[in-house]
Amino acid sequence: MIQSTEISMISTQVNSGFTTDAAKGTDNSLFRDIIQHELKSQASQTTSHSAAQTIETGKPALSQLERNTFAIQTASENIRKGKTSPSFIEQLKMYKEDQLLSKPGGDSFALNKETNTIDYDLNQSQFSKRVGKDLKDAGENIINIFKDVGAGAPFNYVDSNGSIQEGEKVGFFGTIINFFKDIASGFTLGKYTPEGESAPTNALDATKHFFKKVFVDAVFKDIVVGVPRSAIHVSENALFAGINLLETIPDATIGNFKTGRTVTTEIFDDMQVFVDFVTDVVPMGEANSRTHAFALNEGLRGLPFIRNITKQAPEPNDEKWKYVRNTPFRKSIESFATIIPIRM
């Protein structure tokens, strides 16, 4: 700070017309111009440095480790908010997050319900916590079987802002109820409409409403798609409950060692992701519905597969894409899998 003050004084003196002995001479002295230029340059640099120090005064300096951590967190936030293009590894991680969040059971991407955040470093060193979580996850999946037979089970997803939200699937009886609602709405020409829907305002709209509610919503969406999909959801819950119960065996044995816990978590989390992937891409599955969806009013972009590939990640205004982060990785594997014949 002493050096900075001295330089600032010298700079002021030079700007005021003061000249040192070394700079005395004719007005056109090249040597004087060089000295003045150098003094001004040093004063400017030192002033900037001093100002930067003044701004940072009172704030603890970040260590290199803290800076690296901050950079990683910032990159992660940018990825979640779509500000940067995620790498292949990041897309794979996002896909696993989405799949493991949607059902109880994930260990490497466990949902902390108290903070509504993902716990990437779940402490499972204690036997009771390890095996207890497996049993708890199995129990929740068994409960979801009955919920999906009924109105529908809840699930978690990451929205367009990177926040974890909760949605609810439509169960078997929920689908049947929707079927009768849509039939009633169609045959009454919109005099009755399900909650959240607008009624037709003229005769032409009422005619369109009849065909849409009866043949599109009731017959196709509720019966052709809805009933098989609710059966898929019930099957998913049963498979996940079985996987969680099976996981108690390695968690109770090799899980007593750190390496054993790491291997168990990786194998069973990947198993759950694979099961979820298969049930997504089978006919009437959620991914199958996305890849085969079309919109005639969108031209070439509305064709099946092309429409899915060009969709945002996620697409908050479209029910089929609302609950997934449709990254290029996810689009690729789901599109390819729905082309080739897959049998359960």
Each residue's pLDDT tens digit, 224-261: 999 999 999 999 999 999 999 999 999 999 989 999 99
Helix (H) or strand (E) holding 302: none
Q: Is 194 left (phi over 0), alpha (psi -120 to 50) or beta?
A: beta
pLDDT at 72 over 50: no
Beta-carbon contacts of 117 under 8 Å, excluding residues fewer than 6 positions away, are 111, 164
Rg (CA), the chain: 32
State the Cα–Cα distance between residues 100 and 109, nearest whole angstrom. Answer: 7
pLDDT at 61 over 90: no
CB-facing half-sphere around the CA of 176: CA atoms within 13 A: 7
245 within 8 A of 272, measured Cβ to Cβ: no
Dihedral of CA 91/95/98/101: which sign?
negative
* Helices of type H across the chain: 2-15, 30-56, 64-80, 88-102, 127-149, 172-187, 203-211, 227-252, 258-281, 286-292, 306-310, 328-339
Contacts 24+ apart (CB under 8 A), 75-80: 77/162, 80/158, 80/161, 80/162
Dihedral of CA 37/43/45/48: which sign?
negative
pLDDT classification of 83: cutoffs 50, 70, 90: low
* One-letter amino acid for residue 123 of the chain: N
Each residue's pLDDT tens digit, 258-287: 999 999 999 999 999 999 999 999 999 999
Exposure string over 209-229, b if 16+ CB within 10 A, otherwise e: bbebbbeebbbebbbebbeeb
What pLDDT score does 42 carry?
56
pLDDT at 36 over 90: no
What pLDDT score does 196 carry?
81
pLDDT at 68 over 80: no
What pLDDT score does 24 carry?
42
Each residue's pLDDT tens digit, 139-180: 999 999 999 999 999 999 988 888 888 888 999 999 999 999
- The two structure tokens encoding residue 162: 């990177």
Angle formed at CA 92 by CA 324 and CA 107, multiple of 5 degrees: 85
Lowest mean pLDDT of 152-156, 183-187, 296-300, 313-317, name the range: 313-317
